[in-house]
Amino acid sequence: MSEIKKVVLAYSGGLDTSVIVRWLQDTYNCEVVTFTADIGQGEEVEPARSKAQALGVKEIYIEDLREEFVRDYVFPMFRANTIYEGEYLLGTSIARPLIAKRLIEIANETGADAISHGATGKGNDQVRFELGAYALKPGVKVIAPWREWDLTSREKLMQYCEERNIPVDFAGKKKKSPYSMDANLLHISYEGGILEDPWAEAEEEMWRWSVSPEAAPDEPTYLVLTYSKGDIVAIDGEQMSPATVLETLNRIGGANGVGRLDIVENRFVGMKSRGCYETPGGTIMMKAHRAIESLTLDREVAHLKDSLMPRYAEMIYNGFWWSEERKMMQQMIDFSQRHVNGEVRVKLYKGSVSAVGRRSDDSLFDESIATFEDDAGSYNQKDAEGFIKLNALRMRIAASKGRNLLDD
């Protein structure tokens, strides 16, 4: 007799998770609660209700989490200018802690004994979901079917559907993309198919959110982004919610060919993986945020942030959003954003994003000091002589002791 009486499943309504519903019912003889999150994946989530009902599910959660996703996860991450391995803007990674949080909250609300997810045993998502779950509910039982069952191919999943009368009209018999895709308001990712050959170029028809740079308009598009404490609050003077900001930047950026990426990344589980990503809004946000920080952040604060960012990016990529160290670092990052206010003008042209203007009432840029013209005594250039000699002192001493670097 299974000790598991009720399980909360992260449910998309697709083939894999539909099979998981029935597999949980059969294997654990338990009640299944489904949770479907709308985080801007671009597909209707409400059909998941009828699909779950057809599988005998009584408690069904379908929630619009788009604003929470951008406000509490995407925006905080972008305050840190977060990039993994120099390129990846962490679109999939940053969605997982929110889903993990809601799985645990629903488990507590419904009295469930366990949570479950459809992540495979090869990827990072299993780690992200489960690290988050354990951080928020240490004793929770996690069921990962892909690590337990023998349904190792699409054909076996379809056979399982036929044997157990799972309706195949929603279980995935329609034409399937050759790619494994994940989408939310920040990005859409592509893996598998021809992308498993790192030498093969991605097909043009694969991309869904952006035109190719070659097909983008011949005239540039300009936007003015308004910042408050490190977050965009308006575009071209129009106040917008966090989710609307990202939706708008995705639309405009995609129309200008912005945000395509093709990389080979190092997964936390140890393997390398080739993936393609479309992140038009995030690409614009990254460029603009660095531009407003360049005007408003103290030099040492900016450099300290940059030195911490790779560690912060690894925390998110590897699934440690709900860790003490990430929370501590977030407090430092957020403190640095107190004066990151003002406007940035960006230029979008055939796949490129350029910051072409920035202004702020909190600017640390002093034209009277930085000017190449007469500064009226604002800066005493003679001060540089002692400054340089003091910084050269240790090198001068070493050289006087015979340490000739030209001989090494």
Please tell me the distance from the alpha carbon of residue 390 to that of residue 65, in angstroms, as a whole number. Answer: 56
State the DSSP string of 250-272.
HHHHHHTT--EEEEEEE-TTS-E
Residues in the chain: 408
Q: CA-to-CA distance for 278 and 282, rounded, in angstroms?
A: 9
Sign of dihedral through CA atoms 222, 82, 228, 132? Answer: positive
Dihedral pair phi/psi, residue 192, rounded to 5°: 80, -170
Q: Which CA distances in Å does 107 have to 44, 110, 113, 141, 357?
A: 24, 5, 7, 11, 49
Gap between the Cα atoms of 100 and 125, Å rounded: 10
Tokens for 1, please give them: 């007799």
Which of these, 56, 35, 36, 32, lies nearest to 44 by C-alpha position? Answer: 36
d(CA 106, CA 65): 14
Q: Say which residues have a Cβ less than 8 Å from residue 84's Cβ, sequence separation at least 6.
A: 90, 93, 265, 313, 314, 316, 317
Whole-number Å distance between alpha carbons of 306 and 339: 17
Alpha-carbon span 57 to 113, nearest angstrom: 16
Q: What is the DSSP string of 165-233?
A: T--HHHHT-S---SSEEEE-SS-EEEESGGGGSTTSPPPGGG--S---GGGS-SS-EEEEEEEETTEEE
Instruction: Report, as residue numbers or ranges, the catalytic residues.
Output: 16, 96, 125, 180
**What is the crossing angle of helices 125-136 and 96-110, to 10°?**
50
